[in-house]
Amino acid sequence: MTAPKVDPEAPAIEIRDLHKAFGDNEVLSGIDLEVGQGDVVCVIGPSGSGKSTLLRCVNLLEEPSSGDVFVEGIQVTDPDVDVDAVRSRIGMVFQQFNLFPHLSVLRNLTIAQQRVKKRDKSECEGIARANLDKVGLSDKADAYPAHLSGGQQQRVAIARALSMEPDMMLFDEVTSALDPELVGDVLAVMKQLANEGMTMMVVTHEMGFAREVGDDLVFMDGGVIVEQGNPRDVLGDPQHERTKAFLSKVL
Amino acid sequence: MAMSPRKRARLSRGIQYVVLVVLVLVAIALMDWGRIQEQFFNLDSARTMWPDVILIALKNTIIYTACGFGFGLLLGLVLALMRLSSVGPYRWLSTGFIEFFRGVPALVVFIALDIGISLAFPGYAVPGDKLGIATLALGLVGGAYMAETIRAGIQAVPKGQMEAARSLGMSHTRAMISIVIPQAFRIILPPLTNELILLTKDSSLVYVLGYTSAQVELTAFGRETLNQERNLTPLVAIALCYLLITIPLSIVVRRMEARSGRAR
């Protein structure tokens, strides 16, 4: 197994001519995208447009059918690359939270640190508690996920990803399963992360977040990137008919 | 006289109680209570069994069952993981094994391992004497049943759990061990306990292997004492011993279910 070096000069994520098909159903039809270090790129589009699949191809939860994905200069689509090592540098937060229900909140945050990063227990717990504090849930360390509200669970999920000290974060419609009044807390945490310089790729329906926090906005439809640019420009003055049609429905 | 539905329901319930009470009274009147006490609850017979029924027979039943269950659980887990393997031949092997040992009576497996093996391979015997054969036989049969339960449990864990674990950098194996399998076992705790209860009773088959007085388990002990004492008291005693194992098991599981219900 090769151990390629992280290239500090390379873009955080670089996607080249990415195709993905499930059987006969082509979900991604040639995506080219670059996410610079420290950038926040928001991906919007109608459901079924392939935006979640695109995100999941970055950390290889989905195997691309063809094309290349580079993370910090390492070609993750190379069959020889250590996928687990790459994934441990990419945090991911899911729509359905996916907290481990049989483990306490603290254990949710320490188990991967201990098993993957081989940190000792006190170091793990120190990092975990700092991240719980960051998402405003330091008093929930000993609770179990089922005892938390959706918004709290999602903040724990963010803290869990952060505890691996990743170089970048992927957010997959993280507020879509939340009650409306709980969305704000989660977005606030994400905004704080962005302000700290975290590289983020965010699949979202929150246009306000995209406009305010995003450096770059990508509109996808039918497995291709239809329009891309400064969020204010794309949202305020969309160039393509499909973008206009989509935005007129959601704004 | 017209009766309201509610009144009619009350009357019907009253009649049911009366019928029950009459039946019980008739049964009491007709029973030969002296004979029942002598045959089923004979204190002299009970005294001759004490304390061997507990210290030897119950103990051996528990040992046979525990060893068989332990081996069966391990085997069941391996078979379940083989069933879920992406390598075809592992799946086929596992399926064939499960179908075979679920379909064959446990008694046949006992006989095959005891007499069959020594006939087929002269000079060779299953190591560990009676306990070795019992463990192997109970484990093979129990494992085949448990494999399907464990597989269902693993598949019942939401896919997002594996994805979340992998996204944190865990390998597939690590994610299975730390995240998926613990949750699967929580889900299948009740059916697994049923398996343990069934295995407790199957352990009575050990008596076809023959036994010394130190190896005797509950059923063989009961049968032997029945022959000596010429009454049913030994069977009542061993029945109570079996319940002594199975009822606490049910209670423990109910507790665990309540706790994992809170944690989920």
C-alpha B101/C-alpha A199 separation (Å) is: 55
Enumerate residues 172 to 191 of chain B having a beta carbon within 8 A of any beta carbon in chain A: 174, 178-179, 182-183, 186
Q: Band of the pLDDT at A41, cuts 50, 70, 90? A: very high
Using a CB-CB distance cutoff of 8 angstroms, which residues of chain B are in contact with residue A116?
A: 168-170, 174
C-alpha B135/C-alpha B132 separation (Å) is: 5
pLDDT of residue B260: 66
pLDDT of residue A1: 45
ipTM: 0.92
Secondary structure letter of residue A220 according to DSSP: E
Amino acid at A236: G
* pLDDT of residue B234 exceeding 90: no
Q: Band of the pLDDT at B2, cuts 50, 70, 90? A: confident
B260 to chain A, any CB pair closer than 8 A? The answer is yes
Asked if the Cβ–Cβ distance from A102 to B171 is below 8 Å, we say: no
Asked if the Cβ–Cβ distance from B164 to A84 is below 8 Å, we say: no
pLDDT of residue A3: 56
pLDDT of residue B250: 86
pLDDT in tens, B131-143: 888 999 999 999 9
Asked if the Cβ–Cβ distance from A99 to B166 is below 8 Å, we say: no
Q: How far is CA A238 from CA A40, A45, A49, A213, B82, in A?
A: 20, 13, 18, 18, 53
The residue among A85, A45, A71, A43 whose CA lies nearest residue A172 is A43
Q: Which of A86, A88, A100, A124 to mutate to test binding with chain B, by most B CBs within 10 Å of its CB? A: A100
The residue among A97, A59, A61, A98 whose CA lies nearest residue A201 is A59
Please tell me the least confidently modeled range out of A23-32, A69-78, B58-67, B122-131.
B122-131
CB A116 within 8 A of CB B170: yes
CB A56 within 8 A of CB A68: no
Element (H, E) at A247: helix A241-250
The token pair that represents A106 in the structure block: 């603290």
* pLDDT of residue B10 exceeding 80: yes
Task: Please state the rounded mean pLDDT for residues A198-226.
Answer: 94
pLDDT of residue A4: 66
Give the count of alpha carbons within 13 A of B34, CB side only: 0
Q: Band of the pLDDT at A70, cuts 50, 70, 90? A: very high
CB A200 within 8 A of CB A212: no
Residue B89 preceded by cis peptide, ω within 30: no
pLDDT of residue B64: 92
CB B261 within 8 A of CB B78: no
CB B107 within 8 A of CB B208: yes
pLDDT of residue B261: 63
Element (H, E) at B67: helix B59-83
Angle between helices A150-162 and A121-134 (to 10 degrees): 130
Q: What is the full DSSP assignment across A53-95? A: HHHHHHTTSS--SEEEEEETTEETTSTTS-HHHHHTTEEEE-T
C-alpha B216/C-alpha A166 separation (Å) is: 61
Q: Band of the pLDDT at B69, cuts 50, 70, 90? A: very high
C-alpha A56/C-alpha A249 separation (Å) is: 26
Asked if the Cβ–Cβ distance from B183 to A101 is below 8 Å, we say: yes
**A228: which strand partners?**
A218
Number of helical H runs and strand E runs in chain B: 14, 0
Element (H, E) at A124: helix A121-134
C-alpha B155/C-alpha B101 separation (Å) is: 22
Asked if the Cβ–Cβ distance from B168 to A112 is below 8 Å, we say: yes
CB A235 within 8 A of CB A207: yes
Task: Please state the rounded mean pLDDT for residues B24-49.
Answer: 83
Element (H, E) at B183: helix B181-202
C-alpha A33/C-alpha A41 separation (Å) is: 10
Amino acid at B50: W
B159 to chain A, any CB pair closer than 8 A? The answer is no
